[in-house]
Amino acid sequence: MSNLGADDTQNPAISKLPPLLAVHHNDKNLNQLVESAVRVTNNNDAAVAYALASAAILKAALSGKTPIECVHSAKGLSDLTDEAIKLAEERILKPSSEVATELGMHCGLEASFPVTVHLLLNATSYEASIRENILCGGDNCGRAILLGATLAACYQGTEQDIPRSWELKVSLPKSLLACQRLLFE
């Protein structure tokens, strides 16, 4: 590869995962696809480790798992991500905004990933979790990539799903809506 990304561990490492997983979640070469996609923007082993754990979370969500089960599916992939998951689990009873203040609100995955995991472990609905993420401050947009995609898949078709009133406020191209219907039907 000649066009490798920066030696960086920020959220762009995982920003391309939701569409990648939507198309390739059953591909036997998924981990290689994830690593290749990540290294385009973030040529860093830690970024790849966080992305592989994020991909495991998304894959579990697409297979119908709960948010907690999704987090558990990412365990055992690397010492780095296991430690991040442990940080979130140890703070399970704390408000996510407090966890974000403690671990960091910046766009580095060393802070963003465990805060997102904490939000997933405490998720009760798409709306409540997205609102809680916003209240955490910092790079809530970066955290929302993994959080929103995971919860949308976990809660799709349930009362905890994306609020219809939110969907009505968004204009999506018909081609994107058609892809969404094909994925979830």
**How far apart are alpha carbons 28 and 79 in whole angstroms?**
23
pLDDT in tens, 155-172: 999 999 989 888 888 776
- Residue 58: which residues within 8 A CB-CB, separation 6 or more? 17, 18, 21, 25, 70, 146, 149, 150, 153
Q: At what angle do helices 79-90 and 109-121 cross, to 10 degrees?
A: 50
Measured at the alpha carbon of residue 73, what is the angle toward residues 33 and 132, in degrees to the nearest 5?
100
Contact of 110 with 145, CB cutoff 8 Å: no
The pTM of the full predicted model, rounded to 2 decimals, is 0.91
pLDDT in tens, 62-86: 999 999 999 999 999 999 999 999 9
